[in-house]
Amino acid sequence: MESFSINSARSFIGKHVNLHLKDGSVIINVKLKGIQKGSTLGKGNQVEYIPYGNQKPSLISLRNVAYAELLNFVLVNKID
C-alpha cells in the first residue's frame, strides 16, 4: 500500500472519509476541505478537514495520516 501523499489527499477533497492515522487511531466521518502547504519554518503539509456536524475546520499533519477510507452513504441510508 502506498503512503498517503499530497496527490492522494487531493483526490479526496470535498468527500466524506474516515482518516486512519499511523498510530492506529481513526478520525471518523470528516469532509476533507483542502491542503495547506508547509512554510519554510519546518512545518510540513497539513490536511484541513471538517468533522460531521461541525463548521470549524481542523488541521492534521499529512505525515500522521496512513490512509483515507471513502464513506459510502448509500449503505448508511439503507440500514434505517
- Please state the pTM of the whole predicted model: 0.81
Determine the pLDDT at residue 75: 61
Determine the pLDDT at residue 42: 61
Residue 63 reports pLDDT greater than 70: yes
What CATH number should be reported for the domain holding residue 37?
A: 2.30.30.100
The phi and psi torsions of 31 (rounded to 5 degrees) equal -105, 120
Total domains in the chain come to 1
**Percent of the chain scored above 70 by pLDDT?**
82
Residue 40: give the domain boundaries: 6-79
- Cell, residue 2: 502506498
Angle 64-35-27 from CA coordinates, rounded to 5°: 45
* pLDDT digits 0-9 by tens, 43-53: 688 999 999 88
